[in-house]
Every structure is written in C-alpha cells, then in structure tokens.
Chains A and B, each alone.
Chain A
C-alpha cells in the first residue's frame, strides 16, 4: 500500500513516519506512538475526546489526517507536565474534582490549555464558551469550569 512520509514534533520529540494517506492523527498517536491519552469517542468531530494541540490550536485528531500535520508541533496530554511536574490545569482538575470517569479529561485539559496559552485570564463566560466544544457526560461541567478558573489564577 502506498504510504507517505510525515515528519512532525510530538511533545518536543521529532518523529518521522510512513503512513497511509487516509490515516487519522488519532490513529497515528494511539496505534503507532502509544499516546493513548487521546480517546476516540465518536470519530466524527462531535465530542472533543480526541483533542490535541497542533501549533497552538486545539484540533480534533479524529478529523485530521496525519499527512496534514507534516512539519507541525503537537502537544498531547502526555507532554503537558514538565520536569516531572504537573501542569497547573492538571493540578486544578484534580483539586477541584473535575475528573470523574476521565474519558473526556485529556481533551478538556488540552482545550483549556490552548485557551490559557492565548488568554491568560479568561472570564468565566469565555471558559464556558471554549469548553463547550467538548462533551463531558459525567460532571455537569461545573467543576471543570472551576478548575480552569483556578489554573488561570495560578499561572498568572
């Protein structure tokens, strides 16, 4: 089968792969790179479980074809903590009880991270609007919003 050569950075590590042209980034991350933090919950862009940050933008990796990310820099949940320390969002999600089953959690945290990276002090409204791209079936979102607010306070 014809494959394409793709080079990109994942969590600051350079990877070069030969992938089928129709392979999704989600498949590549999960199946080839063992980065299982990105989840498949719908496969059609409806839920955000597969969200990763590509060049600063949160994208649904189930809708992205791997050849499209050639040359890009990608952050997954596995690359969020630095030097053995959790990212403030990760800490806040734990402390605020924003995690229940956890299946939405990596997508939520990465969506929030992209927000905080471009807007250090988002209002509650902005947080709600931003995370409305992602479905959580467990929490009712209240504690997720509180966690993002807390992380924003901390990182200033």
Chain B
C-alpha cells in the first residue's frame, strides 16, 4: 500500500532548495530595477495624537527626492477584511493611534537622501490620552480610539451552546483559572520589504505575502485600480508565520510613491520597523472555567478571553475566534460558552500568528491536568476520554471526517513513557501534554477555493500554473510533487508558475492551512484532467484499454504488459497534431458552510477537514534560578498522508522551536505604547543550543477528501507545543502556571507559591 506511489509519500528534495543553497533565490530586498528609488517612512512618535498638519514641501526640495506623500495624497479609503471592520486608513489623516504608525513617506535616489528628507517633513500633532491595557480600555471613560467602537470593543464573539450554567451547577468538580500571555514577535527572518513599479497604468508589486490574490484585491480597492492592473508578482518569502497575511501600509506607500514618481520604488523596513509597524501578535488574558463529572467527562466550559487588539481591526473576528475553535474541534463540549473580546489599545496593528492563543490553549490544557489529578486520572486518560473521534460533530456543528487524535495521544505517550513519568514526578522535573485540532482552510467566501492550469509542452515538459504560495513551508515543492505523481514525469520536468496574480487564479493563500487540502487538491484535479488526455492517446497507440495505462518515469505503459510502452512526450506531440493539446484545468472547493459568520452566525462546517496532534514536553527547572530547560520534546501529528514526510517533520520541528521553546523565553515587552524589545538583541528567539532533543511522529491517516489523503502539515504542533511546555512546567512546580512566557522569575514565584516545595 505504501509503495503505490512514485513520489507522493517520499522524502523528496524540495524543488526550491537549490536556489536557496546557492544564494540565487531572490527576495524582495534583492530586486533591482532600472531607475529604482529608495523609500523611507516617517512614523508617529505618539501612541495617540491628533494630526493637525503635515507639510511635505521642504522634504520635496531636498535634492534627489522624487516624491513625498502623506495620507492627504491617498483616497482615504479605510481597509478592513470585513464590512464591519473597515477602520484602517494605512496613512491616517485624522489621528495616529500607535507609536510607529506610518504618517508620511518619501522616495529618493538613495536611502541616505530619503532619510534626510524625512527630517524635513513637518507634522503638527496634538497628543491625546492613550490607553494600553485592554481591560482598562473596556472601561467607561477610557480614551476612545475609534468613535465607531464604544468602549474600544472592536469585536465580541459570543458562542453559547447547550446549558452551561445548569451543567456547571451539576458538575462534580469545577475549577476556574485566569491565564495571561504576552504576544510574541513574529521575527520572521526577512524584514518586510516592498517593491512597486508603476508604468502605463499598470502596477507591479513584490513583497513577502501569504496570499497574492487577497493582497491584490485589497490594493485594488485602496488604489482604485482594477484588479488586472495591480499585479502581485512571485517572489521568495523569508518566513510569514501569519504575519504576512494582510495588506500592509508599506504596500500602499510604495505604490503611491511609484505612481507619483513614475519610477520603481523599493521600501525595505528595518528589523525594528518590522516589529513595531508591520503586524504584532495579540496579548491575551483568558479565564477558563471547567466543570467535570466524577469520571473526568467535561460537562461544561465557560470562557472569557480578552485580546489586546492594538490600534485597528485587522483580521479581528478571526483572531478572536481561532483559539476557541481549534480547541472545540479537539474535545467534546456539550455545554460551552465563549465570550471573546478583541479590544483596541494604542499599540501596533495585530494579526494572526501560527501559535496564536497560547494563554487560552495552554491554560485549558494545564487546568485539565490538575482537574484530572484531583479525580485520580492522568493527562492521557482525560484527553482520551474527552477527545473527539471520526464522525463526531463539534459544539459549533463541524463534522470531523477523519481523526487521528487518539493515535497521536497514544503514540506520544508511549514514546515518552508519559504515564510513568507523570505518576512519579521527580523534583524540579516535569512532563506535559498538549493537544489541539486544526482546520484545513476556513471560510473565506468564494476565495476559499483554488484553481490550477497545467499544460504539457511538445517535449513532454510540464508547466503548472497555480495561485498556491510558499512562505518557506514547501508549498511550491508540494504542488510539483503532486503534479509529478499524477502525470508520471519527474519533479524536475515541471516548471511552476505560481503566486502571480496576472497568471494565476484565485487561491485562499497560505494562512488558513489550505495550501495542501485546497491548493494541492486543485493541482491534482487539473493534472488528472490533463492525464486523461495522455491516457486516451496512449491507449489508442498501444492498443490497450485506458484503464490499463499507467504513467511513470516519462513513459505511458500497459500495466499488464509493461514492455508495451511509449514516451509521454509522444502523446503530447500527437495531441498537438489533433489540435487538442495536453492541458488541464481543475478546481477544488472545500465543503464548508458559507452561511457561517465569525460574529453573527458562529456555527456550521468550519473546514473541509481537520488535522490533529499531540505534543509532549519534558522539562527541568533549576531551583536556584528558576530557569527552565527542555531536554526532550516529542510531537505526534495526524496530517493525513504526508506528501513529503521530510517537509512535514520540518514544519513540526520549526513549530517546537517557535511555539514550544518560545513558551519559556519569548514575549513582547511594553512600556505603555512603546515596544521595548523590537530587535533581535533584546528579543531572544531560540537558537540551536536552546533546542530540545526532538522526536517527531507522523501518524499517517487517509483523509477521504485530501489530495492523496493529505491534510495540513505542522500547524497543529505550532498550536499545541506551548501547551505541552506550560503543562510540563506546571507539573514540575506543582501549580498551574499563570502567565507566559515562563521566565525564571515567574517560575521561581510558582515554586514559592507551591507550599511544601523545599528549595
């Protein structure tokens, strides 16, 4: 069964890696165009202030300056993903709402000139009272950041299923805890950059992005240009992790500057600007109340989660919801109430993150362990008891079609000897487990589907055209691998044309975990359509039935008599003779409930399928300093059939770094509206020496709808690795954690909180 495929399921070398190891791979900042100008942005020094006047005149007089703009040069259209969240002008004219907000910009012959010109822009501000804490911002009388949103409540998601209060009253055991977590820095290795080139009414753009089609649409609105004149071009991306999903102020700035100057413009942000002025991760406070039966069955959940939303709506409704959903897609909740509030503060613009919601998720899991203990159960038993299985329906009415949750729990616990270690905890050592489910794509209206076009040239080589984008995960290679399998030609025979809005068709992008389940499925359908044409010709030429034709190694052959064969390229040439070239188009649209709406109708099928995973962390605490180390980390992941197991492992390992190890070291630090650690000297990301010994386990299952049975690969671990570490530290300290990251001071406090622990 495992050998039925030629490339699918194999540890193939990624198609993009050659250019990356030779230094030839081109990223946005590497682009050079004739006459290209350098842009710089003037940013707000105030967290909240009225803009009285912006004067660009003196800046424009600096020799070498070719254009300067402020919000008064734009159409003043506000961006928002949803009808009810259009509040972000990108270049404001009324007031600034965070330190680092884009206020004006110049394009000049070089960076130095542009920087000098910035110092000649005059902006008059009238500072306003500001608010930085979401709980304070919600209070009556707090400074109002947007007048349309009373008490700064940007989004309120209310989900209420079953009879929560009644069930809670009847529960055998009830526990309530509040958890806090600082937002992390995306710290993608590549600082944000945009190149815009406007010529003859057409605008070409390059930037790291997680969905070219969505980006083009946003810019077409903001620039009042038709979609076919705003072209997002293919470019390599140095990491996204959720932070490159939405249109960025820099996109608009570079575009307007290029339009004004009539020359290409490159804007490269510094590391600090990337942290203060692209997207940031939400800080979260989550109160989790859980009721259980004596046997550990969860009978009720009551949640209040407050998300520090920063200055604008961004993907607000989604950000306010996702932590809840990935949890309710994992466990059986008969009675559940969720009140999620996303609140405006005078901090930077925020977005989704691959590890989004760690206070909520880790909080739930750590609390569950302590409740289990009270009931005489262990973390494995309680998770198996409450975990969803195939065929079940979640609290908000999503059907789970394929589910390997149980296997991931069992495999991860067997591998680590979890039960034994949990039963006899050694001093200052701990073990913890985190589980979660992950939607493979979520509703994005008609943008939820993907289409692909494939053609075979007369030499038998293939061109594959798809909107699928790669931010480093390996999506390009994935698309090629799937095409290679279907068409029977090696991966190197396939040229990929992707993520270029003038050549490719709508695709959801790579931020809803849709690339495999949706994007690669469309590739598969297109290639199957092309394959049928090859097969028809081959069957005729070889004198066998179509059902007998196999395609492999550039050959079409009879499965019964494999020596009876011909080159696939002959079929391609024959097809041209017949005036019916080997081409195929294909689309895939997931079966989701499009009536579903994040705020007004939060129920119905969320995604075509869900992936599952379990992480187990083993930690040791230095009782003197409170420093946590993570010697071992084990992750088991049901990703359906892994198309390239090596790539899936890579995603899991990266997740253990970015979510797991981050739990003990990563968090943005604020002084009011001022980000204290915007660079990589102050913000420590895990290095090789910080990493645990990693064991990854792929629980291969077959999703009925996924391409070759595949689902999303890796994000599940990104959304539960923090839980595993937080649970392990809670296990080691004997008390449920309260705040992330688990820095030495907090861990020492926890040790002291726990009576009876001798230091």
A residues whose Cβ falls under 8 Å from a Cβ of B: 30, 34-44, 46-47, 49, 76-78, 80-81, 86, 90, 93-97, 99-106, 109, 128-129, 131-132, 134-145
Contacts and interface: CB of A to CB of B under 8 A. Distances in A.
B77 to A, nearest CB: 32
A135 B25 CA distance: 19
A140 B694 contact: yes
Interface centre among A94, A102, A136, A142 (most CB of B within 10 A): A102
Given A46-B679, A99-B17, A37 B188 contact: no
A41 B30 CA distance: 12
Contacts of B653: 139-143
Contacts of B187: 137
**Most chain A beta carbons < 10 A, residue from B17, B189, B653:** B189
Top 9 closest pairs, chain A to chain B, by CB: A37-B23, A101-B472, A102-B20, A140-B653, A103-B238, A77-B23, A46-B680, A103-B189, A140-B657
B53 to A, nearest CB: 33
A97 B21 contact: no
A141 B680 contact: no
A109 B25 CA distance: 15
B17 A49 contact: no
A94 B654 contact: no
Given A97-B647, A103-B238, 8 more contacts: A47-B189, A86-B21, A99-B14, A128-B691, A137-B658, A140-B694, A142-B694, A143-B653
Nearest to B656: A140
B22 A90 contact: yes
Interface residues of B, number: 55
Contact of B685 (A76, A102, A137): A137
A132 B25 CA distance: 24
A141 B689 CA distance: 9
Given A39-B190, A100-B654, A102-B472, A138 B22 contact: no
Given A137-B188, A137-B685, A140-B655, A101 B22 contact: no
Contacts of B241: 137
A105 B271 contact: no
A101 B239 contact: yes
B27 interface: yes
Contacts of B70: none
Given A102-B25, A138-B472, A95 B685 contact: no
A41 B187 CA distance: 10
B23 A76 contact: yes
14 contacts: A36-B26, A41-B190, A42-B681, A86-B22, A100-B239, A101-B236, A101-B238, A102-B17, A103-B239, A135-B685, A137-B187, A139-B653, A141-B657, A142-B691
Contacts of A136: 189, 688
A46 B681 contact: yes
Interface in B665-690: 679-681, 685, 687-690
Nearest to B12: A97
B18 interface: yes
B18 A101 contact: no
A76 B22 CA distance: 10
Contacts of A43: 270-271
B159 to A, nearest CB: 33
Contacts of B26: 36
Nearest to B237: A101
B190 A131 contact: no
A87 to B, nearest CB: 9
B24 A37 contact: yes
Contacts of A30: 30
Contact of A143 (B23, B471, B650): B650
Contacts of A49: 189
A151 B691 CA distance: 21
A131 B688 contact: yes
Contacts of B21: 77, 86, 90, 93-94, 99, 105-106, 109
B184 to A, nearest CB: 11
A38 B463 CA distance: 31
Given A77-B22, A78-B22, A103-B189, A39 B654 contact: no
A52 B504 CA distance: 37
Interface in B1-25: 11, 13-14, 16-25
A93 B190 contact: no
A88 B741 CA distance: 39
Given A35-B23, A139-B653, A101 B471 contact: yes
A138 B270 contact: no
B13 A95 contact: yes
The listed residue with most B CB atoms (<10 A of its CB), out of A47, A76, A131, is A47
A94 B13 contact: yes
A53 to B, nearest CB: 13
A131 B689 CA distance: 8
B537 interface: no
A17 to B, nearest CB: 17
Contacts of B681: 42, 44, 46
A104 to B, nearest CB: 5
A106 B190 contact: no
Q: Which of A76, A97, A139, A141 has most chain B Cβ within 10 Å? A: A97
Contacts of A95: 13
Contacts of A142: 653, 691, 694
Contact of B27 (A35, A39, A145): A39
Contacts of A81: 22
Interface in B85-118: none
B348 to A, nearest CB: 19
Contacts of B283: none
Nearest to B110: A31
Given A43-B270, A93-B17, A105-B20, A100 B473 contact: yes
A141 B190 contact: no
B318 to A, nearest CB: 23
B171 interface: no
B649 interface: yes
A16 B180 CA distance: 57
B430 interface: no
B23 A36 contact: yes
Nearest to B680: A46
A42 B271 contact: yes
B474 interface: yes
B478 to A, nearest CB: 13
B340 to A, nearest CB: 28
A103 B21 CA distance: 10
Contacts of B649: 97, 143
B36 to A, nearest CB: 12
Contacts of A109: 21
B173 interface: no
Contacts of B32: 34
Nearest to A30: B30
A75 to B, nearest CB: 11
Nearest to A20: B112
Interface in B632-671: 646-647, 649-650, 652-658
A71 to B, nearest CB: 24
A141 B691 contact: yes
Contact of B29 (A40, A78, A144): A40
B191 interface: yes
A143 B21 CA distance: 14
Nearest to B26: A36
Contacts of A42: 271, 679-681
B24 to A, nearest CB: 7
B17 A135 contact: no
A122 to B, nearest CB: 13
A105 B190 CA distance: 12
Nearest to A46: B680
Given A47-B189, A101-B236, A140 B647 contact: no
